[in-house]
Structure 1
Amino acid sequence: LAEEARGEALVIQLDTPGGLMTSMGQITRAILNAKVPVVVYVAPRGARAASAGVFITYAAHIAAMAPATHMGAATPVTIGDRPSQGEEKREVDKAMKEKITSDAVANLQAMARRRGRNAEWAEKAVREAVSITEEEAVRLGVVELVAEDFGDLLRKLDGRAADTDLGSKVLRTARARVTDGAMDVTEQFLSLLSDPNIGFILMNLGILGIMVELYNPGAVLPGVVGGIALILGLASFAILQVNAAGLLLIAFAVLLFIADIKVPGHGVLTVGGVIAFIFGAVLLTERTAPVLAISIRLIVAMAALLAGFMFFAVGAGVRAQRAPARSGAIRLIGAIGVARSPLDPDGMVHVQGEMWSAVAVDGPIPDGQRVRVVGLDGLRVQVKPEPPTPA
């Protein structure tokens, strides 16, 4: 967008705990090959450029930070990194981590040399996960300047030179017109899906919707909404490259929930499902990387929600099993009706919107008399006269 508009520069305001190396690589390559100067500004106050944010900052033609910000801790973390079993497996994992770390160091140092920044600190940020404040970053040559706000940044950028693929360019930003390059609807949607907590909520709404549909077949809406939410949740986790064991445990939990709805087991299967669900949710994303981890509070809340619904559904099923069957004519016992013919003792009565063959048990009953059903005689109802309702 900045290149098409022939802008003076592109300013990226950065505040990130990190992200996937694949996404980071795409961003840094785009910055390194940009035809307009790219300025990365770590802001507002309290913001950070951690992990992948360090690489993005180093790729910029000019790097700046707001007061009370920090950057660092760029050690790469592999998704699905779990304690290894066996000495040989540990050695393989150690070698793989060293390989990934060395690659990250080389990448960051190459950008440091390209932009004239501190390559020694870059290595420490990756290997030792060190972090520094904005004042230290300027002193160590990691960033070029500290700016109080966006207006101050534009004033301090004015007159600085930036080397691009098209040659050196002196920035004229003091009176530059600022165009906000906000994300469009599609980008905002994809950004939302990339949040593991949002993906986890969507997946659980999907599971809950399907459970409601199974509990109350024919409701349709819960099943449709649940199916859409479940697909979006799985799409989110496909972006995040989740741990397969965690996903399998959650799938197993869902199977236990379905089994408890279809064949009520007094909640035993639900308890097992909740335990499997919690373990699966914890294993689902990388807990050593905060940006990729699902909130423990959210896991507990979703587990409690699913458990509450399941215990309600299972309890209703158990109560229904224990309740005496009431079908056909049995449900009419105690009901009030009207004789539609003289009963002496046989005749017809109208009860609960239906005509029934009836037999009078306490003598003849005239046509039109109110009657009460007191029992059954095969397919006939037994009735007695019902006293008129007091006025």
Structure 2
Amino acid sequence: MNKWLKVAFVSYLLVFLLLPLQMIVKADDTNDARVYVIPVEQTVERGLEAFLERSFKEAAEENADHIILDIHTPGGAVDAAGNIANIMNNTAIPVTAFINSEAISAGAYIALNADQIVMVPNGQMGSAGVIDGSGNAAEEKVQSLWISRMKTAAEENGPDGGRDPAYAEAMSNADFDVEGFPSGYLTLNAEQALEVGYADAIERNVDGVINFLGYQSDEVNIVHSEVSIAEQIARFVTNPIVIPILLSIGSLGLIMELYSPGFGVPGFMGISALLLFFFGHMVAGFAGWESLILVVVGIVLLGVEMVAPGFGIFGILGIGLIIGGLFMASFSTTVMVISVAITLVVTIAAAIILFVFFGNRGPWKKLVLQAQTTSEEGYLSTETDQGLIGQTGKALSDLRPAGIALINDRRLDVVSEGSYIGRGSMLKVVYTSGSRVVVREIEQND
């Protein structure tokens, strides 16, 4: 490994071990009332869930009077949205959703679980149909469950005993229409949401929301929860689309490293991808050190299998430990099954290509003897006596087909061309190679 690769690798490990995991908060402790402003941005996924869980916990520990969710999201994973809703419903702190641009799909569901909803003048809310990974509508039972959750969230939250569930159903069911709105998944703008009771106020910024909640700007301590660098990495790494990419890069890097002398860029990329995967999942709270240890031990066993073959035992155990570690670190068995399947396909295809085009390199040359001891290179176990060819002699024993003959007064081990030759028969040498002497019987009339 050259100097720069060593420096980069050590730096990566330092970041992995020392990067602060706690949220960065800005607060002024001189005031009594404390309001937490927590951003809900980008895609709704398990990394966001982990960040919100940590934020709500801190708000409770600091005896916050109110939580404002600053929402700007196009939606995302249904399971993550459901868990975020549970976090909101399990806190005793009042929660206000501030739709600061858009709350689409899973974002709309999160907003409906808040005690109050405030929107910016150009805000949008709705279009909450459930789709699968291919972009198609989810199966009927999943749709039915999601519609029920949307309606329940509307009924159980909001002022005056809840909101009209019909609009929540129209947001999540393209076949359900409400009067005065076009067919298809319903999306409400700020004025429409205010009119039908899905928004309690329209404000331009967080300060306006603070005033709407009844706090005076000089009597409130606003705490802005910010996503730390570690949490940003976790949100990126725990994305279901990113997971198979990282695992594929990790496996490809290690496979390519086997075909490279020393330790170089492929190995560094492979290890970095795997460390990034585990770092993100550990920050998000899904993985522990035990899962990382399993993967490391699995990689070591695979290395042992490559340099000291153990009839496949080390390889099988290594693969099993790696897959087990990955599943222990995962937040979803389904996501990990798909990710591992994609990784295996990519890895097998890459291994075949590397073996076909670079078969004389890498670990294979350690397992198979490549050199050949040819006569052209001077490798002979016994020197060939070409002078014996054409010489005659006598069989001193039966040749079946091997036996003993007397050639030029020399007793030699000889072999016939395959036929039986009796003792005392006259012989002629027809071929020699090293210690091998091939003879033929001479007919009496010759």
Give the SS at the match of 2:128.
coil
**Which of 197, 218, 221 matches 1:177?**
221
CA contact under 8 A between 1:28 and 1:59: conserved in structure 2?
yes
What's the counterpart of residue 188 of structure 1? 232
**Which of 169, 177, 191 matches 1:123?**
169
**Residue 202 of structure 1, CA deviation:** 2.5
Asked if 1:50 is matched to 2:104, the reply is: yes
Aligned mates of 1:153, 1:20 — CA distance in 2: 28
**Which of 190, 209, 214 matches 2:258?**
214
What's the counterpart of residue 76 of structure 1? 130
**Residue 126 of structure 1, CA deviation:** 1.4
Aligned mates of 1:245, 1:176 — CA distance in 2: 48
**Which of 126, 133, 142 matches 1:97?**
142
**Residue 32 of structure 1, CA deviation:** 2.4
What's the counterpart of residue 12 of structure 1? 69
What's the counterpart of residue 61 of structure 1? 115
Aligned mates of 2:216, 2:137 — CA distance in 1: 53
What's the counterpart of residue 34 of structure 1? 91
**Residue 258 of structure 1, CA deviation:** 0.9
What's the counterpart of residue 209 of structure 2? 153
**Residue 55 of structure 1, CA deviation:** 1.7
Give the SS at the match of 1:180.
strand
CA contact under 8 A between 2:247 and 2:343: conserved in structure 1?
no
What's the counterpart of residue 137 of structure 1? 193
What's the counterpart of residue 339 of structure 1? none
Give the SS at the match of 2:61.
coil
What's the counterpart of residue 335 of structure 2? 242
| 1:202/1:244 CA distance change after superposition, 3 Å | closer
Aligned mates of 1:66, 1:126 — CA distance in 2: 22
- Aligned residue type for 1:67: P
**Which of 141, 145, 156 matches 1:111?**
156
Structure number with higher relative contact order (C-alpha < 8 Å, ≥ 6 residues apart): 2
Gaps of 5+ in 2: 1-57, 175-184, 282-325, 363-370, 377-446
* TM-score where L is the length of structure 1: 0.54
Gaps of 5+ in 1: 85-92, 159-170, 265-312, 318-324, 331-391
Give the SS at the match of 2:69.
strand
| 1:105/1:42 CA distance change after superposition, 3 Å | closer
**Residue 172 of structure 1, CA deviation:** 5.2
Aligned mates of 2:344, 2:137 — CA distance in 1: 23
**Residue 72 of structure 1, CA deviation:** 0.6
| 1:17/1:194 CA distance change after superposition, 3 Å | farther
What's the counterpart of residue 350 of structure 2? 257
CA contact under 8 A between 2:244 and 2:339: conserved in structure 1?
no
Give the SS at the match of 1:125.
helix
**Residue 49 of structure 1, CA deviation:** 0.8
Asked if 1:205 is matched to 2:259, the reply is: no
Aligned mates of 2:151, 2:195 — CA distance in 1: 23
Question: Structure 1, residues 343-377: CA drift from partner, whole Å, max 9, x if none?
Answer: xxxxxxxxxxxxxxxxxxxxxxxxxxxxxxxxxxx
**Residue 213 of structure 1, CA deviation:** 0.3
| 1:188/1:246 CA distance change after superposition, 3 Å | closer
| 1:136/1:178 CA distance change after superposition, 3 Å | same
Aligned mates of 2:136, 2:108 — CA distance in 1: 25
Identical-pair percentage: 22
| 1:21/1:109 CA distance change after superposition, 3 Å | same
Question: Structure 1, residues 19-51: CA drift from partner, whole Å, max 9, x if none?
Answer: 3333222222222232222111111xxx32111
Number of residues of Structure 1 aligned to a counterpart in Structure 2: 252
Give the SS at the match of 1:178.
strand
CA RMSD of aligned residues (A): 4.0
- Aligned residue type for 2:172: V
* TM-score where L is the length of structure 2: 0.48
